[in-house]
Amino acid sequence: MSSPPSSDDNLPLRPIPGGYGLPFLGAIFDRYDYYYNQGRDKFFISRIRKFNSTVFRTNMPPGPFVAANPRVVAVLDALSFPVLFDVSKVEKRDVFTGTYMPSTTFTGGHRVCSYLDPSEPRHALLKSFFFHLLASKKDQAIPLLRSHLAEMFQKLDDQIHRKRKAYFNSISDNELFNYVFRLFCGKDPTQTKLGSWAPTYFELWVYPQVAPLGSIGLPWYFFPINVVEDFFLHTVPFPAFLLKWLHRKLYDAVYTSAVEELKEAERMGLSKEDACDNLLFVLGFNTYGGVKIVIPSMMKWVGLAGEGLHRELADEIRSVVKAESGVTLASLDKMPLMKSVVWEVLRIDPPVQFQYGKAKEDIVVRSHDAAFPIKKGEMVFGYQPLVTKDPKVFENAEEFVGHRFVGEGEKLLKYVYWSNGRETEGPTVANKQCAGKDLVVLMLRVTLVELFLRYDTFTVKLGKPLLGPTVTITSLTKATSY
Ligand code: HEM
């Protein structure tokens, strides 16, 4: 374990290096570097080297004409990044997707919770609604998830039996979507008008909202295909009115399913329409969007870690489940290695990679080496995959170390930022930390436990990452000792 650094108030004040280039052209050049010439990680790492600083100015995609102002101050180390959690210093209004905001046509004209700054009164009301919703589902969360995971593993077994391999993403996406819909709305999505196409409809609704951030990842020599892609994805905003029918379809499915939940929202002072659009967003964007990335990511990292770690996990999980007679919150808490592995997945591959916030006043941010003045109104931006692999905080930061957060290692949890806050802290109505933080960690823990109750070991093959890793399971060895 590295000794965690502390922020030094006496660091020299330095002007922020970097720049934005010529108006308009600078943003386009940076966008081409980011998507096609360099790629994401190289884009940031090359600039850290060039400026000899983890804090610098750059343009962030998409830029013109999707985003009016692409200029940001990037904060790319573990010390400067947390300024983005301090809502007294940065404004989180309309920055959930970055320097642009998708049309509110996607959400029935409502600005949903994720786009609200805590200073806006609706933020506390909506976040309280989610806290209440999650608290009311607390007893169902584990048993319902276990029954969906049982289905998932059965389908994986069947596919491996038939094809000698199983495409993990499609099977897990489907099962976990059904879980989340049932948990939040109290009904199986197949019992709604969405039928078995429910997850696909939700994906069709989410993707256009994040399209300006994506690319199929063709390098520069695929010219001019990448120019065409750049035009359609990053230059012109998606005409959201084309998907009004889809929003209506999803809205109706949630409205007719989450009847009790929406009544409760009304009792709390929200209109049913506002609550329904917010629930739709939390379900389809925050939760399903996140789970689609993070569960395959866990399968990837644990799969690649190999048989040694699998044996240790299986031993720990099986002995605790036996001693505690089941999978409960209390028994999960007694599995230090399993917990550490989940945190390590969230550290090495934070599922939401970008965070933004606009300086509310003139502020000073501190990196390991210097202090930097940021002016009121400037956009602060963090790319989390570099931040949570800060070598000045984490030893062998690029490596997946399953035991990293066991025992003394837990002290480093305050540098795990996946939820838009420290792992040692929790969401409140006054901050912007993920309202579902505990549920997400619980889902990962229960999935890992179910995996190693059923199997001794497994192997994976990775495909080309799209939104997250694409995982094919190439073998699953049934548990011999449970
Ligand atoms: C793997 C799944 C999830 C991931 C990776 C994730 C991640 C995040 C992140 C990074 C943010 C902060 C975004 C920002 O402002 O920069 C956030 C916000 C939020 N998340 Fe999650 N989330 C997940 C699941 C959930 C679930 C299950 C809920 C259920 C209630 C939820 C509800 C929210 C809400 C309401 C916000 C906005 C918080 C606020 O406005 O204060 N998320 N999430």
**282 CB within 6 A, ligand 1:** yes
CA geometry: angle at 180 spanning 336 and 479, to 5°? Answer: 45
Both tokens assigned to 287: 């939760």
CA geometry: angle at 182 spanning 181 and 183, to 5°? Answer: 95
**Residue 368 CA to ligand 1 centre (angstroms):** 28
CA geometry: angle at 323 spanning 322 and 328, to 5°? Answer: 80
The dihedral built from the CA positions of residue 348, 351, 353 and 359, taken in this order, carries a sign that is negative
Amino acid residing at 232? F
What is the position in ligand 1's atom list of the atom closest to the CA of 293? 1
Under 8 Å between Cβ of 168 and 296: yes
pLDDT of residue 469: 93
pLDDT of residue 370: 97
pLDDT of residue 110: 98
CA geometry: angle at 401 spanning 398 and 404, to 5°? Answer: 110
pLDDT of residue 468: 85
Axis-axis angle for helices 198-210, 288-305 (nearest 10):
90
* Residue located nearest, by CA, to atom 26 of ligand 1: 436
pLDDT of residue 481: 75
Per-residue pLDDT tens over the stretch 189-214: 999 999 999 999 999 999 999 999 98
* Spatial separation of the C-alpha atoms in residues 127 and 382, rounded to whole Å: 24
What is the position in ligand 1's atom list of the atom closest to the CA of 355? 16
pLDDT of residue 465: 79
**Residue 398 CA to ligand 1 centre (angstroms):** 25
| Count of Cβ atoms closer than 10 Å to residue 271 Cβ | 12
**Residue 255 CA to ligand 1 centre (angstroms):** 21
| Count of Cβ atoms closer than 10 Å to residue 428 Cβ | 15
Q: Which residues of the chain have pLDDT under 50?
A: 1, 3
* Spatial separation of the C-alpha atoms in residues 431 and 150, rounded to whole Å: 36
pTM exceeds 0.75 for this model = yes
Task: Confirm or deny that 113 is annotated as ligand binding.
Answer: no
**434 CB within 6 A, ligand 1:** yes
Q: What percent helix, strand, coil does the chain show, rounded to 5?
A: 55, 10, 35
**184 CB within 6 A, ligand 1:** no
**Residue 290 CA to ligand 1 centre (angstroms):** 8
* Spatial separation of the C-alpha atoms in residues 267 and 271, rounded to whole Å: 9
* Residue located nearest, by CA, to atom 16 of ligand 1: 355
* Spatial separation of the C-alpha atoms in residues 457 and 451, rounded to whole Å: 9
* Spatial separation of the C-alpha atoms in residues 36 and 52, rounded to whole Å: 24
pLDDT of residue 1: 47
| All structural domains of the chain | 25-478 (1.10.630.10)
Under 8 Å between Cβ of 286 and 114: yes
**92 CB within 6 A, ligand 1:** yes
pLDDT of residue 467: 76
Cβ-in-10-Å burial (0-12, 13-18, 19+) of 480 comes to exposed
* Residue located nearest, by CA, to atom 43 of ligand 1: 434
**111 CB within 6 A, ligand 1:** no
